């Protein structure tokens, strides 16, 4: 393996716990795997364990190969740093039999990596280029089936615990905290509980969701996320760019949450597939609902009255084709601008209940605003089109790369033939062993260099061709933007991230910087004064 290192790959996850998640299997612990692999290396005259590279994924499922230590190991393998990978058994490597087979049959042989699974008595070096045949395939399929079976067992165990009234959510709902002495029990959060009761009371009195949201914002009552942060619970929001405001959606979700009745509700959603993060909503008939599991914050009567009055006049879903593009934005609350009833001006769509005074000041003439945005977009489209044209000329010169690739492929064939001739010369006694070994290693080393370089060059050629194809598509788009005479939000969204409207005198255009060529010529923001 030359100067290449041996890698010890170790994995431990929640799969290695019992279904109650309490006791880790000793045989699968990180320490146990490390000892077993090192013992194997010593017994089989492999490099000194102390010189080996160790990669440990603790807490990652075997069904997913996007593990940080595993990805680092593969990056090192691709760079030529690793010549051998050792695992305790196939299940430590992965529980997806198709993906595991792909590594054993294609990726590792291509990279020239020896793979050893200790407990499975598998060594790719002994398989004459094969991967162990049917026995390996069966073991990988069994591991995959085990992962699915385990998922069912875990779900069943959680269902049993939910049926006992134990709270199974990762976070307590707003208004509650997890009991420090029993994380599966909810206790009221005094400060937030008062806000919850106030929301339900206002809804029961006939206050609509926009009115409730406006009142909470005007009173500067911390939002759910702000409250969690205040008490030291860090929970990420998918709308971090927006100002922290109470919204109609938040109010509506709270009013529908049966946890406030003292009920534990489980199995509202399910995993799309084993290892997937996507959740699918279950029908209510599939839910597990247990009453009286914790202290209620509102009565059933108050809950029913609030819901009856809050959801009487729900807005109908707008057809997909009519949904406005969120381009024109209020800089004070982060929400979109909407047209006035007369359609001649834009205003903040949240001004009625944001509680932010500046939101009410935004009232901009529609024609002036749209013309200013159109003018800036046409100018920017022209600049980008010119840059695209320059790039096309630069990238069209791929002949040199293709010529180099051809020369390397010819050299590889010649060297492969030389390897055979060297062996024949050695077996016939025309050259000595030392000379054979030296020349063979030099030849093999050069072949490896070529095998590494050719894919890089081909990838470069492919990238250029893809970029050229992309350019043709972009040119048509940009040409359309340069000639755009009407305010088409869908087309403007090609190059505009948002237009932040402060007043009649000032708007701020935030350009999209995700295109590789666009960022080279465009300012991220452009301040414009309306004419």
Q: Are residues 129 and 199 in the same domain?
A: no
Q: Strands 122-123, 288-290: parallel, antiparallel or unpaired by DSSP? A: unpaired
- Report phi then psi at 283, rounded to 5: -65, 150
Structural domain includes residue 206: yes
What's the CATH code of the domain at 280? Answer: 3.90.1750
Calculate the average pLDDT of the chain: 76
Q: Are residues 288 and 401 in the same domain?
A: no
Q: Do 326 and 498 form a contact (C-beta atoms < 8 A)?
A: yes
Domain boundary among 310, 338, 361: 310
Going by C-alpha positions, the residue among 75, 77, 94 that lies closest to residue 85 is 77
Q: Are residues 93 and 65 in the same domain?
A: yes
**More confident of the two residues 48 and 30:** 30
Structural domain includes residue 501: no
Tell me: pLDDT of 525 over 80.
Answer: no
pLDDT at 527: 62
Q: Are residues 93 and 132 in the same domain?
A: yes
Q: Strands 5-12, 82-87: parallel, antiparallel or unpaired by DSSP? A: parallel
β-bridge mates for residue 57, sequence order: 11
Q: Do 28 and 239 form a contact (C-beta atoms < 8 A)?
A: no
Tell me: pLDDT of 163 over 70.
Answer: no
Q: Are residues 288 and 405 in the same domain?
A: no
Structural domain includes residue 302: yes
Q: How far lies 373's CA from each of 152, 174, 370, 498, in Å?
A: 55, 41, 5, 11
> Percentage of the chain surpassing pLDDT 70?
71
Q: Are residues 12 and 152 in the same domain?
A: yes
Q: If you average pLDDT over residues 96-101, what whole number do you get?
A: 63
What's the CATH code of the domain at 31? Answer: 3.40.50.1390
Q: Which range, of 69-78, 432-441, 482-491, averages the lowest pLDDT?
A: 482-491
Q: Give the best-scoring range by mean pLDDT among 73-82, 91-100, 228-237, 376-385.
A: 73-82
Structural domain includes residue 516: no
Q: What is the DSSP letter of 379?
A: H
Structural domain includes residue 366: no
Q: Are residues 192 and 269 in the same domain?
A: yes
Reported residue count of the chain is: 531
Structural domain includes residue 379: no
Residue 524: band (very low, low, confident or very high) from pLDDT cuts 50, 70, 90: low
As for how many domains the chain has, the answer is 3
Residue 213: band (very low, low, confident or very high) from pLDDT cuts 50, 70, 90: confident
Please report, to the nearest 10 degrees, the dihedral formed by the alpha carbons of residues 140, 142, 145, 146 taken in order: -110
List the domain range (segments joined by +) for residue 44: 5-157
Q: Are residues 266 and 306 in the same domain?
A: yes
**Using one digit for the tens of pLDDT, what is the confidence trace for 391-414?**
666 666 666 777 788 888 888 888
Helices and strands, number each (H, E), in the chain? 16, 18
CA 510 to chain CA centroid, Å, is 25
Q: Give the best-scoring range by mean pLDDT among 199-203, 277-281, 288-292, 499-503.
A: 199-203
pLDDT at 19: 40
Q: Which range, of 109-113, 207-211, 309-313, averages the lowest pLDDT?
A: 309-313
Domain boundary among 88, 122, 157: 157
Please report, to the nearest 10 degrees, the dihedral formed by the alpha carbons of residues 406, 407, 411, 414 taken in order: 70
Q: Are residues 129 and 238 in the same domain?
A: no
Domain boundary among 294, 310, 326: 310
> Percentage of the chain surpassing pLDDT 90?
12
Tell me: pLDDT of 433 over 50.
Answer: yes
Structural domain includes residue 375: no
Q: Are residues 136 and 219 in the same domain?
A: no
Q: Do 112 and 448 form a contact (C-beta atoms < 8 A)?
A: yes
Element (H, E) at 471: helix 433-482
pLDDT at 305: 92
Tell me: pLDDT of 140 over 50.
Answer: no
Q: Are residues 137 and 11 in the same domain?
A: yes
Structural domain includes residue 358: no
**Using one digit for the tens of pLDDT, what is the confidence trace for 487-501?**
888 778 877 888 888
pLDDT at 199: 94
**3-class secondary structure, 58:** strand
Q: Are residues 153 and 27 in the same domain?
A: yes
Residue 260: band (very low, low, confident or very high) from pLDDT cuts 50, 70, 90: very high
pLDDT at 470: 60
pLDDT at 316: 46
pLDDT at 271: 57
Q: Do 243 and 334 form a contact (C-beta atoms < 8 A)?
A: yes
**3-class secondary structure, 11:** strand
Q: Do 309 and 322 form a contact (C-beta atoms < 8 A)?
A: no
């Amino acid at each position: 393996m030359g100067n290449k290192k041996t890698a010890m790959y170790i994995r431990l996850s929640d799969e290695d716990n019992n279904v109650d998640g309490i006791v880790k299997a000793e045989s699968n612990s990180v320490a146990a795997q490390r000892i077993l692999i090192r013992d194997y290396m010593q017994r089989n005259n492999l490099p000194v364990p102390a010189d080996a590279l160790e990669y440990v994924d603790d807490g990652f499922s075997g069904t997913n190969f996007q593990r940080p230590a595993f990805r680092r190991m593969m990056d090192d393998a691709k760079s030529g740093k690793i010549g051998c990978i050792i695992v305790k058994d196939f299940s430590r490597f992965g529980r997806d039999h198709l993906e595991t087979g792909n590594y054993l049959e294609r990726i590792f042989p291509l990279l020239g990596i020896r793979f050893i699974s200790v407990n499975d008595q598998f060594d790719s070096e002994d398989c004459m280029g094969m991967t162990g045949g049917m026995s390996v395939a069966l073991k990988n399929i069994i591991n995959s089936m085990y992962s699915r079976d385990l998922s069912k067992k875990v779900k069943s165990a959680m269902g049993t615990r939910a049926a006992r009234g134990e709270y199974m959510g990762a976070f307590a709902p707003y208004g509650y905290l997890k009991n420090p002495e029993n994380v599966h029990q909810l206790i009221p959060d005094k400060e937030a509980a008062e806000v919850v009761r106030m929301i339900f009371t206002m809804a029961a009195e006939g206050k609509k969701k926009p009115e409730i949201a406006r009142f909470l914002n005007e009173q500067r009552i911390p939002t759910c996320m702000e409250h969690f942060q205040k008490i030291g619970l860090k929970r990420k929001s998918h709308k971090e760019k927006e100002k922290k405001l109470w919204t109609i959606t938040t109010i509506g979700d709270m009013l529908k949450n049966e946890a406030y009745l003292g009920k534990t509700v489980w199995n509202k959603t399910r995993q799309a597939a084993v290892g997937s993060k996507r959740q699918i909503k279950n029908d209510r008939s599939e839910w597990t609902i247990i009453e009286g599991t914790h202290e209620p914050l509102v009565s059933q009567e108050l809950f029913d009255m609030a819901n009856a009055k809050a959801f009487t006049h729900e807005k109908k879903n707008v057809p997909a084709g009519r949904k406005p593009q969120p381009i024109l934005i209020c800089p004070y609350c982060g929400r979109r601008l909407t047209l006035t009833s007369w359609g001649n001006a834009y205003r903040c769509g949240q001004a009625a209940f944001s509680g932010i005074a500046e939101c009410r000041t935004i009232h901009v003439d529609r024609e002036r605003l749209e013309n200013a945005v159109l003018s800036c977009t046409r100018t920017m489209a022209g600049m980008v089109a010119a840059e695209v044209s320059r790039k096309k000329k630069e990238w069209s010169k791929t002949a040199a790369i293709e010529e180099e690739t051809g020369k390397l492929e010819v050299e590889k064939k010649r060297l492969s033939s030389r390897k055979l001739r060297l062996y024949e010369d050695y077996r016939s006694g025309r050259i000595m062993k030392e000379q054979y070994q030296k020349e063979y290693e030099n030849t093999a080393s050069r072949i490896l260099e070529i095998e590494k370089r050719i894919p890089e060059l081909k990838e470069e050629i492919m990238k250029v061709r893809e970029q050229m194809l992309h350019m043709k598509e972009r040119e048509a788009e940009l040409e359309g933007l340069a000639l755009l005479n009407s305010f088409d939000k869908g087309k403007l969204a090609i190059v505009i991230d948002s237009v932040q409207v402060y007043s009649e005198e000032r708007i701020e255009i935030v350009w999209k910087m995700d295109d590789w060529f666009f960022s080279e010529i465009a300012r991220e923001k452009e301040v414009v004064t309306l004419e």
